[in-house]
Amino acid sequence: MSKKEKNIDQLEKKIKTELDNFTRELETVKNLIELDKIRTKYIGKKSFLIKTLKNIGDLPDDIKPIAGKKSNTARNKVESDILKKEKIFKNIEYENKLRKESIDLSLPGRSTGTGRKNIISQVVEEIEEIFIGMGFEIAEGPEVETDYYNFEALNTPRGHPARSLHDTFFISKDILMRTHTSPVQIRYMESHKPPLLIIVPGKVYRRDYDVSHTPMFTQIEGLVIDKGINFGNLKWTLETFAHEIFGKDRKVRFRPHYFPFTEPSAEVDVSCNICGGKGCRVCSGSGWLEILGAGMVDPNLYSFVGYNPEEVSGFAFGMGIERICMLRYGIDDLRLFFENDLRFINQF
Amino acid sequence: MKVTLNWIGEFLNAERLEPENIASALTMSGTEVKKVEYIGDKYKDIVIGRVVDFSPHPDSSKLSLCEVDIGSSKLNIVCGAKNFKKEDRVAVALPGAKIKNIIIRKNKIRGQISEGMMCSEMELGLSSESEGIMILDNNCKIGDSFSKSVGLDDVVLELEITPNRPDCLSVIGIAREISTLIGAELITGKYDFQKRLNIDSKFKIEIDDYNLCPRYSAKLFRNIPNIQSPQWLKNRLILCDVRPVDLIVDLTNYVMLETGQPLHAFDKDMLYSNKIIVRRARKGENIKTIDDSIRILDDDALVIADEDKAVAIAGIMGGKDTEISENTKNVLLESANFYGPSIMRTSKKIGLRSEASNRFEKKIDPMLTVFTIRRFEDLLEKVANFKTEECIYDNFKKVKRERKINLRVGKVGQVLGKDIDAGLISGILTNLKISNRIKDNIIEATVPSFRYEDLEREIDLVEEVARIYGYDRLDSIPTSASNRRGKYSLYQKTIKDIRQALCYIGLVEVINYSFISAESLKKFKINLEDGYKNNVEILNPINEDFKLLRPMLLPALMKNIKDNINHNIKDIGIFEISKVFKKNSSGKLPFEINMLGVMLTGKAAQKGWDEEERAFDFYDLKGILEFICKRYYPYGSLRIKERQYRFFHPRISGIVNIEDLDVGIIGKIHPVIIEETETGQDAYYMELDMDKFINNIKETKKYKFVPAFPSIDIDLAIVVDNKIKSEDIVNEIKESGTELLKKIRLFDIYRGEQIEKDKKSMAYSLSFRDDARTLKDTEIEIIVNRILESLGRKFNARIRE
């Protein structure tokens, strides 16, 4: 063995002993303070390894690289072992600290507001969004109307039998509370050219007050006018709507009906969800629930607004919002909608 | 309207009418069947019996022991009635039958076996009261089912007839529809009555205005039989919700239900002479109608008169003086046609609607009058074996009752979105009794009299084709117009957003009627405030509570909180977005303003396990106002201008001003109003004109680079007189704070021991920043000193040590 080999061997042995001692002692360490002591002892300024590294310059040149490498490896090992240990102790310390910070998760949270949009607004907005998705815009009109827009221009002149279906509130001989949202059809057509797709939500008024009638209620009217619009388009639009609002599983049927300002006219039913169409108390045995009235715009109306009935055609529809709410949620008294009992409103 | 299937069956050449099929076919062709009622089922196990003998019950003087023959056997029945005799035919409910929801059983009554029950009319549901059991005609066959024997083995259809189809307000009309739908032949009597019209001149009919009365037909019946209507006839009336009265009245009703033509019977001997005049009423002329009311008429009402006075209001109701009574010997039967709109106007004016007026309103076919008289004669002969005189009086100014319409085959396809074969269209029209022929893809149709009012134009025929062809057979076609973009307008989007935002911060949305009472406006002293004075009035309100259109939302929201407080819900934040109304100059539509009302009452925060209780106050409401404002006016100025309103607390009452525009009011409800409305707790209210608020929004949002240099924050507490307003201090600070001052926030107000009485300490946090560099403390010090100096000068403020 050369002198060089001898020196190296000696150094290796010393390092090994040092590491063995370190490993043994590290195992007995119980906390961060003891760990700190070990850190000082083995890689502190005065420790063997650090001193060796510091004094490496004094060693003979042929030993320097090997000695440096060996002691460095040893120091790195000590350092990383200590870090590992430190992490473990720190975790334990955190855990102990956080354990003491436990709270009662079952306590109620601090209250924020519990506001609620009125059920009517909710359903109106839902319907608006369905139709917006189909390309409709939203039009509005006055709640106090002229006889002309409410009746006359809708093919219902004075003395027309359909007038007795609408018990009307009058402001004067020619001014009244609109009995439906349909006057907006005329107003909109007067100021716009086809193609047009609109829905018209709003309050309407009829002189009636009992379980199934309130003097004010909410309607949504729809109007589509373009070249070549036909009854098939009406069916598609309203079927799509009914499926969106009541569910794809509901059947939809169109029944002939009469409205003065549409022809052909229809009433639209969806299958009763209570009995599944077999007939029950809710659908009065028919298996169907009426949801809206519709029809092709009567060509006469075009003469009031200056459209050419041979060029354009269209359809219109209207529905009662409260009725749709009632069918959806099983509400049995229309008056509840306007009593504003928070115990009612907050259910939806 | 109710009709029975057996009755309809009399006019159809059909083997059997299946109720469900008929109902469904009617519904799907536009005559909605609301209800199908199986009458026969109600009378199951009720048979015709013959009283063989009876004797007193041994233990009860009120009861009898009867032996009743029901054909197959003889039953012992204990009966409490006394109105029968041997051989009488009676309705016997056998064990198992259901009478007034009770199932009949064989049992013992006071020790005697009773094997069934002899029924009264009331028990059978045929009248609302009755004395004794029902005695039936001796022709009834013993053992037969009761319902069959008396015409109750029937099915009632309850129909909704749309106003365009007066022809369907009759059994024959419905039979005609069904005949089209199921392809069965319609059979109505073919009467040749031309030869019988006006063959004598014993009676005269004078019509003043044929526009109002196109036709008046009448017939005299002398020495009418004094008998009751047969049971089957009464029963049919009952099934159709008409109360039987006497033979003549019953027949007029029966025939009206059958043909749709209202009839009226006068006691001929009570008429002044042999002349009927159809004329307008004289102004103020009055008549006592058969419902015992005196009706005062206008000169646009049409009356039937004799040469002395009005004896009926045409088409609405007959007069009391000429009404049929049990002493009536001779009858004048009226079968007339009146102009619908005139009848409608009079009926509305005098507030009287009748079965007849309801029909005339919808315009009845004038061809029906004589036909209906013939039906009446037929029935009278059938039930009373009564032969009448030949002459039928008829005053009729002939009008054209046929209309030719050309229907383009292509138009049908265009409207319906499905091409329908010309032959098929022609067949449908033929089935509808609309004669037609096809010529070059045009169908030349001739509308019959009974559809004259309803079918005027090509489109009317398209509808007829569609409803008979079946809507369910038409295709569902996506609309080509749907490539358009749908959207909310900015206004609509903003309303929707405000509604949503208010809900997020804890408010509940209410919706109230647009109506208000004058009393309510008075109670809130709203009637005394300019700007709320000119209210829109309803001419025909439901009651006084619904008399006016509301000029503001306040009273309704007050009522809402009060109602909820009564339900023990006391902490309330609600809002409503609705129109309010103000009168415009006469003849014009009123002004409609979309208003947002917000009301707070009770506690803002409940006492919680970790929270202190706190009542709502003005600043909660102002916070909501600021919240809405900041969303839409991020750089706009919001001010509350002091202004007293009678419904607000005199010191907590103001106008909401945004960017120099008055958009609403805000305040605390006047304590006196709280007291008078018995609300019991303070409330705060704000109202914003949404139209002004939204239309004034400017698109001001612009990108400014995010500050790169830190700000310097300085807290500044000054002591000033109590009466100095925060707004003025802030404005002054802004004034002297230079453009480096970016933000001012009030974070504390102190009044108390540490400072003089009548003074307050206001603490503001000021934030200075320069976008181009980091500021130095020294330059801020100079600015702050300048601020303090000017505050001192203006408000006598001093810095709080």
Coil/strand/helix, residue B6:
helix
- Pairs from B233-236 (Cβ < 8 Å, separation ≥ 24): B233/B151, B233/B379, B233/B383, B234/B126, B235/B126, B235/B150, B235/B151, B235/B152, B236/B4, B236/B7, B236/B151, B236/B154
Bridge partners of residue B442, in order along the sequence? B408, B439
Shortest Cα distance from A261 to chain B (angstroms)?
A: 12
Give pLDDT, residue B531: 85
CB distance A151 to A160 below 8 Å: yes
Query: A113 contacts in B (CB within 8 Å)?
Result: 504-507, 573
A203:B539 CB<8 A: no
ipTM for the predicted complex: 0.86
Helix/strand/coil (H, E, C) string of chain A? CCHHHHHHHHHHHHHHHHHHHHHHHHHHCCCHHHHHHHHHHHHCCCCHHHHHHHHHHHCCCCCHHHHHHHHHHHHHHHHHHHHHHHHHHHHHHHHHHHHCCCCCCCCCCCCCCCCECCHHHHHHHHHHHHHHHCCCEECCCCCEEEHHHHCHHHCCCCCCHHHHHCCCCECCCCEEECCCCCHHHHHHHHHCCCCEEEEEEEEEECCCCECCECCEEEEEEEEEEECCCCHHHHHHHHHHHHHHHHCCCCCEEEEEEEECCEEEEEEEEEECCCCCCCCCCCCCCCCEEEEEEEEEECHHHHHHHCCCCCCCEEEEEEEEHHHHHHHHHCCCCHHHHHCCCHHHHCCC
User: Per the structure block, which two tokens stand in for B55?
Assistant: 């004797």
CATH number of this structure's domain B403-469, picked from the four choices 3.40.50.2000, 2.60.40.10, 3.40.50.10330, 3.30.56.10? 3.30.56.10
Position A221 confidence tier, pLDDT thresholds 50, 70, 90? very high
Determine the Cα–Cα distance for residues B379 and B671; give it in Å rounded to an integer: 76
Query: A296 contacts in B (CB within 8 Å)?
Result: 415, 459
Residue of B nearest to A169 (CA): B540
Query: B502 contacts in A (CB within 8 Å)?
Result: 115
Give pLDDT, residue A1: 64
Shortest Cα distance from A269 to chain B (angstroms)?
A: 11
Chain A, residues 57-76, CB within 8 A of chain B, namely none
Position A158 confidence tier, pLDDT thresholds 50, 70, 90? confident
The secondary structure element, H or E, covering residue B100 is none
Determine the Cα–Cα distance for residues B609 and B611; give it in Å rounded to an integer: 6
Architecture of the domain spanning B490-695: 2-Layer Sandwich (3.30)
| Per-residue DSSP letter, B217 | E
Superfamily of domain B44-149: Nucleic acid-binding proteins (2.40.50.140)
Shortest Cα distance from B170 to chain A (angstroms)?
A: 17
Q: Evaluate whether B196-396 and B712-799 have a shared fold.
A: no
B515:A215 CB<8 A: yes
Give pLDDT, residue B411: 96
A235:B476 CB<8 A: yes
Give pLDDT, residue B138: 85
Give pLDDT, residue B760: 93
Q: What is the side-by-side strand order in the sheet with B638-642? A: B508-509, B572-582, B591-601, B683-689, B661-669, B648-658, B638-642
Residue of A nearest to B474 (CA): A232
User: Per the structure block, which two tokens stand in for B392?
Assistant: 């039928």
Query: A112 contacts in B (CB within 8 Å)?
Result: 506
User: Per the structure block, which two tokens stand in for B290?
Assistant: 């058969």
Query: A183 contacts in B (CB within 8 Å)?
Result: none
B476:A340 CB<8 A: no
What angle (nearest 5°) sits at the alpha carbon of residue B209, between those of residues B404 and B315? 85
Shortest Cα distance from A111 to chain B (angstroms)?
A: 8
Q: Which amino acid is located at B579 in the chain?
A: K
Residue of B nearest to A116 (CA): B508
B162:A257 CB<8 A: yes
Q: Give A264's contacts (C-beta < 8 A, 6+ positions apart).
A: A231, A256, A295, A296, B415, B416, B462, B463, B466, B467, B471
A346 interfacial to chain B (CB closer than 8 Å) = yes
The secondary structure element, H or E, covering residue B330 is none
Are β-strands B107-109 and B798-799 bridged in parallel, bridged antiparallel, or unpaired?
Answer: unpaired
Query: A135 contacts in B (CB within 8 Å)?
Result: 481-486
B505:A115 CB<8 A: yes
User: Per the structure block, which two tokens stand in for B207?
Assistant: 């019509």
Query: A321 contacts in B (CB within 8 Å)?
Result: none
Query: A115 contacts in B (CB within 8 Å)?
Result: 502-509, 573
Shortest Cα distance from B541 to chain A (angstroms)?
A: 7
The low-confidence residues of chain B, meaning pLDDT below 50, are none
Of A115, A228, A231, the CB nearest to B504: A115
Of A205, A235, A313, the CB nearest to B474: A235
| CATH code, B2-40+155-182 | 3.30.56.10
A308 interfacial to chain B (CB closer than 8 Å) = no
CATH number of this structure's domain B712-799, picked from the four choices 3.30.460.80, 3.40.47.10, 3.30.70.380, 3.40.640.10? 3.30.70.380
Of B513, B542, B587, the CB nearest to A207: B542
Q: Is the pLDDT of residue A268 over 90?
A: yes
Of B341, B479, B573, the CB nearest to A236: B479
Shortest Cα distance from B463 to chain A (angstroms)?
A: 5
Chain A, residues 191-250, CB within 8 A of chain B, namely 195, 197, 203, 205, 207, 209, 214-216, 224, 226, 228-233, 235-237, 239
Shortest Cα distance from B300 to chain A (angstroms)?
A: 14
Shortest Cα distance from B466 to chain A (angstroms)?
A: 7
Return the residue in B482, B550, B621 with the most chain A beta carbons within 10 A, the one to mutate for interface testing: B482
Of B333, B239, B236, B335, give the one whose Cα is nearest residue B10: B236
Domain ranges of chain B: 2-40+155-182, 44-149, 196-396, 403-469, 490-695, 712-799
Query: A198 contacts in B (CB within 8 Å)?
Result: none
> What does the CA dihedral A325, A326, A330, A332 come to, rounded to 10 degrees?
150
A83 interfacial to chain B (CB closer than 8 Å) = no
Share of chain A above pLDDT 90, in %: 59
Give pLDDT, residue B564: 96
Residue of A nearest to B560 (CA): A340
Helices (H) and strands (E) in chain B, counts: 21, 45
A232:B416 CB<8 A: yes
- Say yes or no: domain B196-396 is CATH 3.40.50.10490: no
Chain A, residues 96-135, CB within 8 A of chain B, namely 107-108, 110-118, 120-121, 125, 128, 131-135
Query: A121 contacts in B (CB within 8 Å)?
Result: 499, 509, 511
Shortest Cα distance from B144 to chain A (angstroms)?
A: 32
Position A15 confidence tier, pLDDT thresholds 50, 70, 90? confident
Of B29, B28, B397, give the one whose Cα is nearest residue B213: B397
Q: What pLDDT, in 10s, does the model give residues A16-54? A: 898 899 999 999 998 889 999 999 998 888 888 888 888
